[in-house]
Structure 1
Amino acid sequence: MSLTYPHRVRTALGVGGACVLLALTGCSNSDNGDDTTPTPATTTTTTSASSKPTSNVGAAHISIKNFTFSPANLQVRPGTKVIVENLDSVPHTVTATGDKAFDTGSIDAGETATFIAPSASGSYPYICTIHPTMKGTISVS
C-alpha cells in the first residue's frame, strides 16, 4: 500500500507529536522537594542550591567558599542536621578524619549535602579529601 503525500505528512506529524509527548513526560519531575525521611548518620543527601529544603530549623550550616570552610569551627548538639553548601566552582567534601564519623562525599559546585552530627560528644576534625589543606572541626556537646 502506497501512501499519498498528505497521508505521509499526517503520519510523520503524528509520530513526531508522539515522540515530543514521550520526551516531555520523561522530563517531568513529581518531586516536590519535601524530604521527610530521616537521614542516617552515614547517608548524605545532595540537592541543587535552587531546590533546598525549607524545613531546616535547628540545622547547622557550613559554607564552602574560596577553598575555606565557614565556620571552620562549628559547635553543635549531638544528632544535629548539618547542611553543607558548596559555593566554590569545584567539588569539595566534608570528611571526618580519624574514625570517619561523617563524610558528605563529593559535593559539586553549587550543590548542598546533608549529614547528621555524631551522637557522641567530642571534637571531630574534618578535611576536604580533594583539597586536604582545607580543614575544620565540629565540636559536639
Structure 2
Amino acid sequence: MPFSFPTGRARFAVAVAACALALTTLVGCSDGDGGGDSATKSAASPSAGGPRVTIDNFKFQPASLTVAPGAKITVINDDTTTHTLTATKGASFDTGDLAPGKSATVTAPAKAGEFPWDCTIHPFMKGTLTVK
C-alpha cells in the first residue's frame, strides 16, 4: 500500500508530535549541569552572593579576596584548560584539578591572615586570600 502524506489537521498533528518527540529526546539526553563529573574536593553549584573566584584567560578574578574565617569560596573555571586554586603556604585549601566549565568549593582557614595561592599547573597565576 503506497504512503500518502497527511493534509490539513492531520499534517499539523504530525508536525506537533514530531516536535514534541524531538524536544523530549533533547531534554532526556541532558543532565542539566553541562555534563561531566563534579569537581574534586566538594562540588559546587555557584551560590548566589557568596564569595567566588573565577578563572578566565589564565587569570584569577579577583586576584585578591577578603573573607571571614571558615567562609566557603566558590571557584569557577571559565577558561579553556584545567587549573587549580591552591594555597602556597600550609596547604590550607586546594580545588584539585578543575576542568574547564567546572566549579569547586574551598573553605577559608579558620585563623586570620594572608594566604597566597597559585595554580599548580600554571604557577605564574597568583592570588591572595585575606581572612579577617
Aligned with 1:62: secondary structure? Answer: strand
Aligned to 2:42: 45
Q: Distance in 1 between matches of 2:61 and 2:74?
A: 12
Runs of 4+ in 1 over 3 A off after TM superposition: none
Aligned residues: 95
Q: Distance in 2 between matches of 1:80 and 1:60?
A: 8
| 1:106 and 2:103 correspond | no
Matched AA of 2:69: P
| 1:131 and 2:128 correspond | no
TM-score, normalisation: structure 2: 0.67
Aligned to 1:90: 81
Aligned partners of 1:58 and 1:80 also within 8 Å: no
Q: Distance in 1 between matches of 2:111 and 2:70?
A: 9
Q: Distance in 1 between matches of 2:41 and 2:101?
A: 16
Aligned partners of 1:93 and 1:104 also within 8 Å: yes
Alignment of 1:22-41 (within 5 A): none
Pairwise CA RMSD of aligned residues? 1.9
Structure 1 segments unaligned to the other structure (5+ residues): 1-26, 30-42
Q: Distance in 2 between matches of 1:107 and 1:46?
A: 10
Q: Distance in 1 between matches of 2:97 and 2:62?
A: 19
Matched AA of 1:93: T
Identity of aligned residues (%): 46
* Cα-to-partner distance string for 1:52-108 (whole Å, 9 max, x where unaligned): 26xx35621000000000000000000111000000010000000121110110000
Q: Distance in 1 between matches of 2:100 and 2:84?
A: 11
Q: Distance in 1 between matches of 2:108 and 2:41?
A: 12
Select the residue among 88, 94, 110 that pairs with 1:119. Answer: 110
Structure 2 segments unaligned to the other structure (5+ residues): 1-28, 32-39
